[in-house]
C-alpha cells in the first residue's frame, strides 16, 4: 500500500512526541499541555540531571541505547522524536 510506511512512521513519531511531552512535563512538574514541542528544552529550565533522567527513560521506553547527550544534541521534543525514530529505524 502506498504511503503505509510513511504513515506508520508519522504515527510512531506522534506517539513518541506524546510520550516525551508527558515525561518532560513530569520532570518539570508541569502539565503536558503547557509544553511547546518545538521549544528548546532550555527554555523550560531542563537541567543536566533532568536530561540524564530523560535519556535513561528513553532507553527504557524504546529499548535502545541512547547517548546521554541526546537531549542536548536534539534540544526540542520535535527534534528529539525525529532523531529517535531515525535511530530506531537504523537498528531495526
Rg (CA), the chain: 13
pLDDT digits (tens, 9 = 90+) for 56-92: 999 999 998 999 999 999 999 999 999 999 988 877 6
pLDDT digits (tens, 9 = 90+) for 41-54: 999 888 899 999 99
Residue count (the chain): 92
User: Is the pLDDT confidence value at 16 over 50?
Assistant: yes
* DSSP string covering 27-78: HHTS-GGG--TTS-GGGGT--HHHHHHHHHHHHHHH-S---TTHHHHS-SHH
Q: Which domains does the chain have, with CATH numbers?
A: 10-87 (1.10.1200.10)
How many Å apart are CA 52 and CA 9, to the nearest integer? 26
pLDDT at residue 88 in the model: 84
pLDDT digits (tens, 9 = 90+) for 19-37: 999 999 999 999 999 999 9
Amino acid at each position: 500500500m502506498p504511503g503505509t510506511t510513511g504513515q506508520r512512521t508519522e504515527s510512531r513519531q506522534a506517539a513518541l512526541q506524546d510520550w516525551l511531552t508527558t515525561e518532560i512535563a513530569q520532570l518539570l512538574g508541569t502539565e503536558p499541555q503547557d509544553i511547546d514541542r518545538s521549544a528548546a528544552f532550555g527554555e523550560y529550565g531542563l537541567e543536566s540531571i533532568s536530561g540524564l533522567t530523560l535519556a535513561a527513560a528513553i532507553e527504557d521506553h524504546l529499548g535502545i541505547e541512547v547517548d546521554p547527550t541526546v537531549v542536548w544534541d536534539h534540544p526540542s521534543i520535535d527534534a528529539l522524536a525525529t532523531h529517535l525514530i531515525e535511530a530506531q529505524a537504523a537498528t531495526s
